[in-house]
């Protein structure tokens, strides 16, 4: 699947709409939930992604969100800018430097 930023936003909107309408039972979505999301998303986006492609995207978005949340909440010296919604440049330079070694 080719996920442009616009498609990701659309997918998130469809998921939020479905959660608002039907809720999220337990810790996973039902087959009927995924079918509704798939049908609505494919219609809006004019694509034909299958349930597996959508679930993979959901899982990746969730993984990235949890990583981001951990960085925001636990990483000291982050220098998070709430207006720009980004970390301070010096934090990124240090993080990249230590990641390379």
- Residue 21 in any domain: the answer is yes
- Residue 59 in any domain: the answer is yes
- Residue 96 in any domain: the answer is no
- Residue 69 in any domain: the answer is yes
Instruction: Say how many domains are in the chain.
Output: 1
For 11, the domain range is 5-75
pTM for the model stands at 0.74
In tens, the pLDDT along 35-90 reads 999 999 999 999 999 999 999 999 999 999 998 888 777 766 667 777 887 877 87
User: For the chain, what is the HEC assignment?
Assistant: CCCCHHHHHHHHHHHHHHHHHHCCCCCCCCHHHHHHHHHHHHHHHCCCCCHHHHHHHHHHHHHHHHHHHHHHHHCCCCCCECCCCECCHHHHHHHHHHHHC
């Amino acid at each position: 699947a080719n996920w442009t930023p616009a498609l990701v936003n659309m997918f998130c909107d469809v998921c939020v709409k479905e959660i608002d309408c039907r809720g999220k039972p337990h810790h996973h979505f039902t087959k009927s939930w995924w079918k509704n999301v798939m049908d609505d998303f494919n219609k809006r986006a004019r694509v034909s992604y299958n349930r597996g492609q959508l679930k993979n995207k959901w899982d990746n978005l969730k993984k990235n969100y949890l990583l981001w949340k951990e960085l925001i909440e636990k990483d000291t010296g982050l220098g998070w800018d709430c207006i720009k919604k980004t970390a301070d440049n010096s934090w990124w330079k240090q993080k990249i430097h230590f990641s390379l070694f």
